[in-house]
Amino acid sequence: MKLGAKALDTSGRGEPFKFYTAYYLSFYSKKRARTLRELLEGIKIADKNTLFHHLFHTIRSKHLIPPRYSNDFARWVGEEVGDEELAAALSDISGAEPATIEDIRKEIIAIMEPYADDRRGKSEFVFVAMEPVVIETDYVARTLGDFLDLIEVVPGESVIYHFVTRRVLEGTGRNDFSIWLEKNFGLTEVAAALSKIDPLMYNSEEALRRDIIKTLRKWLL
């Protein structure tokens, strides 16, 4: 499906897309893990914000060189404990829709339980707590053309908030972009294409943004 230039100027059902952004205040908790067993137990009881931090802060970082592991749990298991097989499995966990943070927790637990013994890391794993701070921006898209233009210039943190945080942490079930495109314009195919993007496969905000833009252009231009 390709839309003509005129279609990009329509406002659909007239519901604008208001961009928000979020910053994530991190602070050390008192939870520590010295062994694989303790790491697993910590993952089981950690609050959802703490899990979100350790799973998704990699994508919010500004990496010049892609990290070897996709999340902090995989990094500690690989670098500190030395279990490359388990680290690889933890790096491959899925963050694709409709997964929430609790769905991802269950997947991690299922992967780790067969391996969770008393092997120690060279250093402790420190669980880091996190609190998101949501901020309204001045960016508002009223047409598809507006949306295509703004998605290129809004802060990377805004892309992460709408595409990852709201769905994974708040449990909305779908990223905000897909929800808006389908609800306001009836663009079910475009929405479905965006929903296939797994944010845990990316190591930076800009890499994720590029693929979102690429997908939108493929379907809309």
Q: How far apart are CA 10 and CA 27, in angstroms?
A: 45
Residue 45 CB partners (closer than 8 Å, separation 6+): none
Q: How far apart are CA 101 and CA 52, in angstroms?
A: 7
Q: Domain residues of the chain, as ranges?
A: 5-20+138-220, 23-129
Cβ-contact 208, 163 below 8 angstroms: yes
Q: Per residue, what are the HEC states of the chain?
A: CCCCCCHHHCCCCCCCEEEEEEEEEEEEEEEEEEEHHHHHHHHHHCCHHHHHHHHHCCCCCCCCCCCCCCCHHHHHHHHHHCCHHHHHHHHCCCCCCCCCHHHHHHHHHHHHHHHCCCCEEEEEEEEEEEEEEEEEEEEEECCHHHHHHHCCCCCHHHHHHHHHHHHHCCCCCCCHHHHHHHHHHCCHHHHHHHHCCCHHHCCCHHHHHHHHHHHHHHHHC
Backbone angles phi, psi at 69, to 5 degrees: -120, 150
Q: What is the reported pLDDT for 221?
A: 83
Q: What is the mean pLDDT of each run of 10 residues along the chain (221 residues)?
A: 67 95 92 98 97 90 70 96 97 94 97 97 96 96 96 96 96 96 95 96 91 94 83
Q: What is the reported pLDDT for 105?
A: 97
Q: How far apart are CA 83 and CA 142, in angstroms?
A: 50
Q: What is the reported pLDDT for 2?
A: 58
Q: What is the reported pLDDT for 3?
A: 61
Q: What is the reported pLDDT for 30?
A: 87
Q: Model pTM? A: 0.91
Q: What is the reported pLDDT for 39?
A: 98
CA 182 to chain centre: 21
